[in-house]
Structure 1
């Protein structure tokens, strides 16, 4: 299903599922609540995500998949672009939404003009996620890295190298030679932080992406490569690994996990202490817990402990929901997620669980 279908189908089917044309915050059987300030018209802008658009209409933007139904008011709901207008109106006594397709106005003249390519609206800020994954990944800490090779020297005995420089690496004992010589770009990584859960059990080790390289030649167990990209300087002992597959927008459909899970924020790549919206975090749940890309979890902050003024006992106040995250790259025991909503400043140790 094309990425742009998500917003239109969610908006149209959600609105048509409400029995009164007057908006109400009352939750239906599926838990969907419309906002009191939902707009009558919304013009899609460049930089919007389907989450953003849904948030203009719903209190819980991830709820739209539960009400997907084709709406006859939309001729082609498969794609949505900047400039398109979503119009809220009455359809036989029930609210519905129609799509007015935005069109570029082109002045006719005797010369040829190239129209700019319009980018389809994606479910989440994919450019942010892809940029992050170019520089971060996680491997199981208890297993070998399964590296293809490791850097042993730069050209002319350089200790550090950058984009455009040749480097030399030695093939690792466990290397998949076919992957090394396939011609596909290779990632250059450096071991980073080790993640643990709240009980101190290892979850995985983060690798920091330094850049990308391409094979030039091989002589026995020594290979020569050209550094194609470099976010940092390439050093001896940096490792070469195949690049992970890119995120696909159609795989990022936000939805709630089908079973109950509970975990915590265990880290913030880059060493940031406090966490806000669009910050990438690591949580101590992964594929072994049933997490998949697109799974939505709420973030709860632990209630403070206060002294009862009469009994002088310590009383724990209730936990409070302070944000929402979406998982985008799960590993076995740990996942990367992006914070999509934050009402308070979040921190490592905050609890995560499915939304109510």
Structure 2
């Protein structure tokens, strides 16, 4: 009886050791001991110098007890790679390590701190661009017309909206664009909402008394039309500069369904839309792999395999041709970070690529 128990304990110890090793933060062999932060750097870029899995950058910074916010680093700062008593790596700023005692904490309020990813790339999507479902659009205020009989209102016009608005509050005006269709199910995931203008309400309006709300136009990007949707403007000051990057706890397997650049192929820092969202428990900061299936091969066992796309018409008509298709593996072509989530779809930014990324590529969380 003792021997089986002993074997179980040994196996348990080995499994625990394997888990601990897998979770260990490993620094790249070519990582420098010191790095001077440059203008335009991001936390992702810097962490990629030190880690093969850059999304684990919080683990590289969180062990520094001398800095109130380890994310606040600036161009010109000198970073040093050190190891704690347990041999775990961490990045520190040389000036902070020298100046501060172990019991002193500091914060830095200088402007221009390095962000997780280029905030300028995603700010328009956080502040303005929307994706709304048909149910989201139901009951929303909309433009009735202007103080002149015009089809397309511009600056100088007063706008009237059906609905109840809050006087003094800023509102964005949107136009419903094309739907995003899930290629796997054919479902409508939501509509692209194009920002038309920004405005401020000065009369609230009343649905009960059938009185329209009144808006002053602040800025026009496109001509305003009857039927355009009125939504509260987001506060740009509340936009996050930092994202806690992490792998989703649950399995994710979906597709890139659109890119905002409208290009066939795209690369690092491009913005994409994926067919997974809050209903799949995705959150801002979640990191996903981008995979692409390798070209399909048909092998009839005669020593003459052929790519499916290169097959001749005769081969395609041959008996059992399609049934002999080999299931080729999917290979990683990059990573992306989710930064804005709707119920069934999300906006994400491509953080790195090994090959150009395309619409239709898979997004997965192992």
Alpha carbons of structure 1 residues 93 and 135: separation in structure 2 relative to 1, 3 Å? closer
1:150 is aligned to: 143
Output one character per residue of 1:79-137: Cα deviation in whole Å (capped at 9) or x when no partner. Answer: 322221102357679565431349xxxxxxxxxxxxx9522222222222112334421
Distance 1:90 1:218 in 2: 60
Alpha carbons of structure 1 residues 97 and 186: separation in structure 2 relative to 1, 3 Å? closer
1:200 is aligned to: 186
Distance 1:142 1:269 in 2: 24
1:146 Cα deviation from its structure 2 partner: 3.3
Alpha carbons of structure 1 residues 188 and 158: separation in structure 2 relative to 1, 3 Å? same
1:311 Cα deviation from its structure 2 partner: 5.9
Counterpart selection for 1:236 from 189, 206, 226: 226
Q: Secondary structure of 2:47's match?
A: helix
Question: Does residue 326 of the first structure (1) align with residue 319 of the second (2)?
Answer: no
CA contact under 8 A between 1:280 and 1:339: conserved in structure 2?
yes
1:50 is aligned to: 43
1:140 Cα deviation from its structure 2 partner: 1.5
1:288 is aligned to: 279
Within-5 A mapping of 1:199-348: 199-217=185-203, 221-244=211-234, 248-249=239-240, 252-269=243-260, 271-308=262-299, 310=303, 312=305, 313-348=324-359
Q: Secondary structure of 1:157's match?
A: coil
Distance 1:322 1:206 in 2: 27
CA contact under 8 A between 2:127 and 2:235: conserved in structure 1?
no
CA contact under 8 A between 1:323 and 1:342: conserved in structure 2?
yes
Q: Secondary structure of 1:152's match?
A: strand
Counterpart selection for 2:160 from 158, 169, 173: 169
CA RMSD of aligned residues (A): 2.9
1:159 is aligned to: 151
1:231 Cα deviation from its structure 2 partner: 2.5
1:306 Cα deviation from its structure 2 partner: 2.2
Question: Which structure is larger by alpha-carbon Rg, 1 or 2?
Answer: 2
Provide the TM-score with structure 1 as the length reference.
Answer: 0.76
Alpha carbons of structure 1 residues 90 and 170: separation in structure 2 relative to 1, 3 Å? closer
CA contact under 8 A between 1:139 and 1:205: conserved in structure 2?
yes
Within-5 A mapping of 1:74-223: 74=66, 76-78=68-70, 79-89=72-82, 94=87, 97-101=91-95, 117-153=110-146, 155-162=147-154, 164-171=155-162, 175=163, 177=164, 180-197=165-182, 198-217=184-203, 221-223=211-213
Alpha carbons of structure 1 residues 320 and 341: separation in structure 2 relative to 1, 3 Å? same
Alpha carbons of structure 1 residues 236 and 63: separation in structure 2 relative to 1, 3 Å? same
Output one character per residue of 1:293-329: Cα deviation in whole Å (capped at 9) or x when no partner. Answer: 1111111111111243616443242111111111111
Q: Secondary structure of 1:127's match?
A: helix
Output one character per residue of 1:136-194: Cα deviation in whole Å (capped at 9) or x when no partner. Answer: 211123454432231423x54343344x42232231xxx3x2xx124221011011121
Distance 1:90 1:336 in 2: 37
